Amino acid sequence: MRRWICSLAEQRYRFMIGLIGVIVAAAIVTLSPTVVFDHTTWIIADPVRVVLVTTGLAIVRPLLAWPTTFLAVLIGYGIGLSGLPLALGLITFTSIPPYLLGRQYDRATDHSKVGAEFIERTGDTRSVVATRLIPAPSDVVSVGAGIAGVSLIPFILGTIIGELPWAIAGVLAGASAETLTTLSLRTLIQPQLIAAGSIIAVILIGPPVWAWIRERRWELNY
């Protein structure tokens, strides 16, 4: 009898996990920033409402896999350039859950060992700054930092510095837009900004990474 009850409880637990997964997947497919853009008139009518809505979106954003710069665009549209600190703070805050997820990864694997060795060479903060400057998906960078074993404080500091250019670009795009559409996010992908961020990233981590590669080659040869 006890085994049957335990088995039933386990089946219910698996069912609930599966149901939550289906709900999250459906939300990712059906929801998009366009849903929020359709209600911007109501949101920007009150600055307090802008703060509350964007904070709520920052909490659920990792589940929806929305770009972090979406928050900066919305804040820029509703508050203006003065909303930059809020935008940068929320971008940093919403990057922490994926990072914590990466921290749960098994660090005994080859991938985590290579990542940890890379972080040891380049430094926690510098590696996060460099990867943030490159136009890679924010959540991928956050999870990767967690897997590599980056400490929380350097992760937060590196995220603040590395995401600053993208936060500025997002706030400027929102503040200068007459209406918000998905095109407001696409305008952030400027070749000049991407090139500048990539160059700075290479300057930051290029020398230690090159030295690391040379050492690994030497170890393999000898």
- For residue 140, give every residue at least 6 positions away whose Cβ sits within 8 Å of its Cβ, in sequence order, or none: none
pLDDT digits 0-9 by tens, 171-190? 988 888 776 665 555 556 66
Same domain, 58 and 136: yes
pLDDT digits 0-9 by tens, 59-88? 988 888 888 888 998 899 889 899 999 999
Q: How many domains does the chain have?
A: 2
Same domain, 155 and 136: yes
- The stretch 98-124 carries a mean pLDDT of 70
State pTM to two decimals.
0.73
Please check whether residue 147 is in contact with residue 50, taking contact to mean a CB–CB distance below 8 angstroms: no
Same domain, 192 and 128: yes
37-41, 105-109, 127-131, 192-196: which is most confident: 127-131
Task: List the domain range (segments joined by +) for residue 8.
Answer: 1-30
pLDDT digits 0-9 by tens, 116-163? 666 767 778 888 998 898 888 889 999 988 888 888 999 999 999 999
Same domain, 42 and 8: no
Could you count the other beta carbons within 10 Å of the beta carbon of residue 29?
Answer: 8
Same domain, 188 and 108: yes
Please check whether residue 27 is in contact with residue 33, taking contact to mean a CB–CB distance below 8 angstroms: no
Same domain, 181 and 217: yes
Same domain, 7 and 40: no
The residue behind tokens 């943030």 is: 132
- The stretch 23-48 carries a mean pLDDT of 65
- Cβ-in-10-Å burial (0-12, 13-18, 19+) of 201 comes to buried
- Is pLDDT of 23 > 70? no
> What is the C-alpha to C-alpha distance for residues 32 and 5, in angstroms, rounded to an integer?
41
Same domain, 136 and 111: yes
Tokens coding 94: 């919403």
> What is the C-alpha to C-alpha distance for residues 76 and 45, in angstroms, rounded to an integer?
13
Gyration radius from the chain CA atoms: 21
Same domain, 78 and 24: no
Burial 129-152 (b: 16+ CB within 10 A, else e): bbbbbeeeebbebbbbbbbbbbee
Q: Which residue has the higher pLDDT, 7 or 81?
A: 81
Same domain, 46 and 26: no
Please check whether residue 156 is in contact with residue 124, taking contact to mean a CB–CB distance below 8 angstroms: no
Same domain, 157 and 71: yes
Number of H helices, E strands in the chain: 12, 0
